Structure 1
């Protein structure tokens, strides 16, 4: 990424600060972006942020606390409530930028952060729009599905490590880490077929060597209870949901259902797995997201969302 296109910034969240890239825009609108669970802002947002910036949007792409360049300890520990607070803090920071109209801010997230987008659209006042890309809309369904791609022994070991990590955290011990992905039967967060392609999708050139591919094991205990797609019915702003039909990690069905429940949603479906928007469907997804932002946020109407299958829902 050309350093002249963005600047490093920090903003407060809780008792720490979050690190972000700020891309200057020209049209007064802003997109606040965050990546999937355990994925830092560079591999998770760079390509999309560059496209949004080229279209005139200011972009604030940030790391959640305890990850990447952001503050917070223990490292690699993600808490849903804390990440939602970080997203709200990033939006508040974006509203202070002199080139940004505070009423024309959208949020963007993929995977777990895409799930957060449903919650933000329902609870964060004043958003202009929200984009959930291959979102984890139902942690329980995703966890059950993930169990199909591992062994009973591996699942028991992962759960056991999660319990020990949780107890150790209460005692102040360092986190017990899991690899984000691993082969079926290994002790890893995910062994789904498309998750195994995450490195090739997010870091094909090995440019993000500083990205730790790990997560605190206690995450496996909390994610099944996180079902953010249910919040879509209460969304206060227009919502774009991008679904990959062969997603074996976050699953397409819960995301499609969430879009159907939202008062004002557009659904774009593309072929491929969880990382299809980073792979052969990238141009299609970027075009759909820019169309949505243009019609809903920038104030410059264009044609309808593009993609192999797209549609709107109102109710």
Structure 2
């Protein structure tokens, strides 16, 4: 069972869906979920929420501010710390609902929001279980893994020029999220699988998705270090789902972060790449997450 929801995030209305088990009686443990860099909820979050609901869990899925059905200005801008705060607003809203057991809240995030839930697990003890899928763990290191060495200085120069232009009153510069040929068209996520997944998924599932973010969003990405919080998630149970072939949020960075996490924790290693977690490896990724939530929110 799914219904539309909206809630206030300190003056900005965020919108999404609330999934509940068909046979729900009383309040249920609930997972709070949002998507990664520029993605909207129609890009497979409904599929994960349905798996959770079938297992007896609620799922509150929302679009990040400035994207999709949610309000917010400026449009297409991603501030990771604003998104972390919005998860916390979503948790507060979820706890106000009679259908939700506010003492059994889990969080799920993927890619950029996979980093957010590491931060959340460390700082918000209302959260009783965390699943971090193919997470960004270090914006600084990830930036250097994605951007060719000779292009790092020109990219930093773009950030500086945009900052000075904004100070002079000009509109923030914008950049594509993905490009078929990143060597010809600068973009935020310069990998071939990023281009394929975003364009194909937008065509088939999310026609409202826009291939554009502010350049400032990319600069903020380079400053974001969610992996620095991973050791503080404990004693909240943490599952990290890592794709062995991930070169967008490199697997070696995620695995190194996992080693720093304290117990209780569990690692799930998928065979494919970053976006296979939503498609080819969906059953393994969603199944493992579901079992973790059931263990710690229903059975625990």
Is the deviation greater in 235-244 or in 250-259? 250-259
Q: 2:75 maps to which residue?
A: 75
Contact 2:40/2:206 (8 A) holds in 1: no
Per the TM alignment, residue 227 of structure 1 is displaced from its structure 2 partner at its CA by 1.5
Q: 1:309 maps to which residue?
A: none
Distance 2:59 2:209 in 1: 21
Q: 1:36 maps to which residue?
A: 36
Distance 1:281 1:57 in 2: 21
Q: 1:97 maps to which residue?
A: 97
For residues 265-304 of structure 1, the aligned pairs below 5 Å read 265-299=265-299
Compared CA separation, residues 31 and 170, structure 1 to 2 (3 A): farther
| Alpha-carbon displacement from aligned partner over 1:50-95 (angstroms, at most 9, x marks no partner) | 2112222111111121111111111111112211110100011111
Distance 1:36 1:122 in 2: 19
Per the TM alignment, residue 299 of structure 1 is displaced from its structure 2 partner at its CA by 1.8
Distance 1:295 1:215 in 2: 38
Q: 1:230 maps to which residue?
A: 228
Distance 1:97 1:110 in 2: 25
Q: 1:196 maps to which residue?
A: 195
For residues 15-30 of structure 1, the aligned pairs below 5 Å read 15-25=11-21, 26=24, 28-30=28-30
Among 152, 161, 171, the alignment partner of 1:174 is 171
Q: 1:306 maps to which residue?
A: none
| Alpha-carbon displacement from aligned partner over 1:18-51 (angstroms, at most 9, x marks no partner) | 1111112327110100100111111151211121
Among 8, 24, 36, the alignment partner of 1:12 is 8
Distance 1:107 1:65 in 2: 18
Per the TM alignment, residue 96 of structure 1 is displaced from its structure 2 partner at its CA by 1.0
Distance 1:173 1:254 in 2: 37
Per the TM alignment, residue 279 of structure 1 is displaced from its structure 2 partner at its CA by 2.0
Contact 2:36/2:114 (8 A) holds in 1: yes
Q: 1:307 maps to which residue?
A: none
Q: 1:248 maps to which residue?
A: 247
Q: 2:65 maps to which residue?
A: 65
Q: 2:217 maps to which residue?
A: 219
Contact 2:55/2:294 (8 A) holds in 1: no
Distance 1:260 1:298 in 2: 27
Unaligned 5+ runs, structure 2? none
Contact 1:28/1:99 (8 A) holds in 2: yes
Q: State yes or no: 1:208 paired with 2:206.
A: yes
Contact 1:8/1:19 (8 A) holds in 2: yes
For residues 153-172 of structure 1, the aligned pairs below 5 Å read 158-171=155-168
Distance 1:127 1:45 in 2: 20
Compared CA separation, residues 187 and 72, structure 1 to 2 (3 A): same
Q: State yes or no: 1:259 paired with 2:254.
A: no
Contact 1:158/1:217 (8 A) holds in 2: no
**Size of the alignment, in residue pairs?**
292
